[in-house]
Amino acid sequence: MLDAAHTEAEHWSEANNRYLSASLHWLRLRLRQLAAASPPPSATMVPAMASTAATTGASRGVARWFARQAPAVVSVATPTAPAVDPDADRAALAQAALANEIDAAAAERAQAAQIEPAPALLLLAEQLGLGPFETDILLLCAAMELDPSTPGAIVAAQGGGGYPNFALAMQLFDHPAWDALAPQRPLRWLRLIEINQPGATPLTAAALRVDERVVNFIKGLNLFDERLSSLVSRRGAPPPISETQIGQADRLLGVLREHEDAALPVLQLVGADRGSRQGIAAHVAAALGRHLHVLPLESLPVQRAEVDAFARLWQRESLLLPIALYVEADGLDAAHAEANAALQGLLAQAPGLVFVGLRETPLRISAAQWVIDVSLPSPQEQHAAWHEALPPTLDVDDRNRRAEALSGHFRLNLEQIRIAAATARRHGSDVWDECRDLSLSRLDALAQRLDAKARWDDLVVGEEAAALLRSIAGQVHERHRVYQQWGYAERMNRGMGISALFAGESGTGKTMAAEVIANELRMHLYRIDLSSVVSKYIGETEKNLRRLFDAAEQGGAILFFDEADALFGKRSEVKDSHDRYANIEINYLLQRMEAFSGLAILATNMKSALDAAFMRRLRFVVNFQFPGPQERARIWRNAFAPGVPRETLDYDRLARFGLSGGNIHGIALNAAFAAAHAGGVVTMPLLLSTIRAELRKLDKPVNEAEFR
């Protein structure tokens, strides 16, 4: 089948070349005819007139449109016998012979056009709406690239620099149409030709040049314009989408089929997941036999002239190739006035089938549009996709258990599920780890990833706090069962995430507890860096928080807001615009925390500074008490790494000092360095000396009796 298609393409290419050869031959004869009808000026012509030969050619063309023909002057004279002019007779015979040649060449050209599909030039004219005169102009300009003799023939016909212009075309071709010069006609609107009009050169005398993409098409090479290739990327085969999303794609196809005879509406796909939006657009484009090209918003030019050029070139490509455009405008908001204006300018020109991907709010545009809300596959659809993607070697129970855990912790579209499962099989890794690492690049730009090493045995807290921490981990483990299998998701539309507050003095184990939970759940732990989230520019803080929560939801990461009172503080009375925008940021954070489906941990040593609205949204509040003597003794026993050389230490005596767990670990580390420097081991006197220095650093009283 491929060989037959290749052979058919070769036959068409040969036939197209024959049509081009016949057309160029016909054009050369027409130029010869025009040159013979326009003899060169005499030697007595004023030099200034000779230097404007191209302009006079333009004048002749314009005269055919606007100048009245003066009535012939009839002279009454005595009849005389006609003079015999042998040169005139030979010229008339030559012109008649040339006219016959032109007629024969036109017939040959018409015969060569009888192929299926039609020759590329005629296909181009049909696709772009060119009239016969405009098609001939395009042939004249293309001849400059296809036939080396064309410039000389043009010089012979009209003088000048040997470039085609509208004036030459008006004299050369039958049935000239003045509206071919109009900016709204395809020759200029779709950038089929370029006009070189320096200074005060009249439009009709301006040199014309055909666009390289058009020349390639006329030769039979229908290749995507390389000027657009640097801005857009072609998407491959449509990714898998869920049954719910297939239904949305079918609705969009119905809308497009209703507009087949009119301008296609702009299809706005609104939803938090980029992959789902692009997946639906790719399926719609594929159903219409089109290839989807993705244009990131940051690649769209913002200058009006550049946007206009891009829109016209894309409109031309959409008429020549089966393509569709997807504009990824996820980051568009009111703060991006230039990008918004550029996108509005692009969509106003209706450049074929266009999708716009947005996260939350659809655009307000004057063109026809259709908006559809796109969501991730439902938890049940994700569970079914995981069940199918997991290795077939797993037994049914193990497959169900793992599918429940994966669909309960990660919010992925079907393409991401397929890629994660395939990557795990290829690398021999755990699919859980592949899912967990999907959003690393997005989160690393906004937060600090902590290398969670602490385990339950390392954490020394009270019994109540330990029970609450295990409850947090247990609820994260069983989310899918409770929400999906037991039906709580049908009764709740928000608040299905888990948020916890760790409150206590500095050094009481809040960060270590977060590490322990992250290790228990095999999740990445990210400490939020306020410097990368909070911005002085209006709207930027909310955008950063949105990106942060979205990435954490996708990859199941744990968000750890250390010193949370700095970000979750109480709203203040509005006295100026700064207070108003600060309150807007807190309001957005309240809403986003409630909608977050993952685990968020807030840590503070100033619990009273938090806004009361945050406290209501917290599912757990874990109070980290200052460790008592028994807890401090356990902390001292775990404070040294196994390889640290030390003598027998009196842990009960060390526990008498009122130090937090963080202080104890710092003292143990300083003592280890001191022992290494002295070439000895950690001893009680060395530890007591280090404790004395730590107490003085903390401005705590030092009782020398305790150090004897």
- Compute the chain's Rg from CA coordinates: 40
What's the domain range around 693?
629-707
Which residue in this structure is represented by tokens 């706005």?
Answer: 268
> Looking at the DSSP assignment, which residues form a beta bridge with residue 196?
207
Structural domain contains residue 701: yes
Which residue in this structure is represented by tokens 């995507």?
Answer: 224
Of 583, 604, 624, the residue that ends a domain is 624
Looking at residue 218, its pLDDT comes to 96
The answer to whether 343 and 379 have CB atoms below 8 angstroms apart is: no
Under DSSP, the state recorded for 353 is S
Whether 124 and 180 share a structural domain: yes
Whether 283 and 427 share a structural domain: no
Whether 109 and 199 share a structural domain: yes
Under DSSP, the state recorded for 485 is I
Whether 563 and 578 share a structural domain: yes
Structural domain contains residue 71: no
Structural domain contains residue 46: no
> What CATH number has the domain bearing residue 280?
3.40.50.300
Looking at residue 59, its pLDDT comes to 40
Looking at residue 52, its pLDDT comes to 37
Q: Is 298 exposed, middle or buried (0-12, 13-18, 19+ CB in 10 A)?
A: exposed
> Looking at the DSSP assignment, which residues form a beta bridge with residue 337?
none
Structural domain contains residue 60: no
Whether 416 and 493 share a structural domain: no
The answer to whether 602 and 614 have CB atoms below 8 angstroms apart is: yes
Number of structural domains the chain divides into: 5
Whether 292 and 397 share a structural domain: no
Beta-sheet pairing, 207-210 with 447-450: unpaired
Of 127, 292, 152, 309, nearest to 218 by C-alpha is 127
Whether 602 and 465 share a structural domain: yes
Whether 365 and 406 share a structural domain: no
The answer to whether 459 and 516 have CB atoms below 8 angstroms apart is: yes
What is the maximum span of the chain, computed from C-alpha positions, in angstroms?
152
Of 218, 252, 279, the residue that ends a domain is 218
> Looking at the DSSP assignment, which residues form a beta bridge with residue 210?
193
Of 607, 606, 673, 665, nearest to 645 by C-alpha is 673
Whether 525 and 504 share a structural domain: yes
Distance (Å, rounded) from C-alpha 358 to C-alpha 610?
A: 33
**In the chain, what is the straight-line distance between the N-terminal and C-terminal CA atoms, in Å?**
97
> What CATH number has the domain bearing residue 683?
1.10.8.60
Helix (H) or strand (E) holding 327: strand 323-328
Burial string for 627-658 (b: 16+ CB within 10 Å, else e) reads: beeebbbbbbeebbeeeeebeebeeeebbebe
Structural domain contains residue 75: no
Looking at residue 351, its pLDDT comes to 80
Structural domain contains residue 158: yes
Burial string for 72-103 (b: 16+ CB within 10 Å, else e) reads: eeeeeeeeeeeeeeeeeeeeeeeeeebeeebe
Record the pTM: 0.79
List C-alpha distances in Å: 406 to 260, 387, 431, 680: 43, 10, 9, 51
Whether 348 and 477 share a structural domain: no
Whether 597 and 690 share a structural domain: no
Of 590, 624, 658, the residue that ends a domain is 624
Whether 234 and 348 share a structural domain: yes
Which residue in this structure is represented by tokens 């989230």?
Answer: 533
Structural domain contains residue 534: yes
With a CB cutoff of 8 Å and minimum separation 6, the contacts of 384 are 403
Q: What angle do CA 398, 404, 410 make, to 5 degrees?
A: 130
The answer to whether 684 and 649 have CB atoms below 8 angstroms apart is: yes
Spell out, as residue ranges, where the chain has pLDDT lower than 70.
Answer: 1-2, 38-85, 87, 261, 333-335, 493-495, 530-532, 536-539, 566-586
Looking at residue 569, its pLDDT comes to 63
Looking at residue 85, its pLDDT comes to 65
Structural domain contains residue 43: no
CA dihedral 170, 176, 178, 180 (to 10 degrees): -100
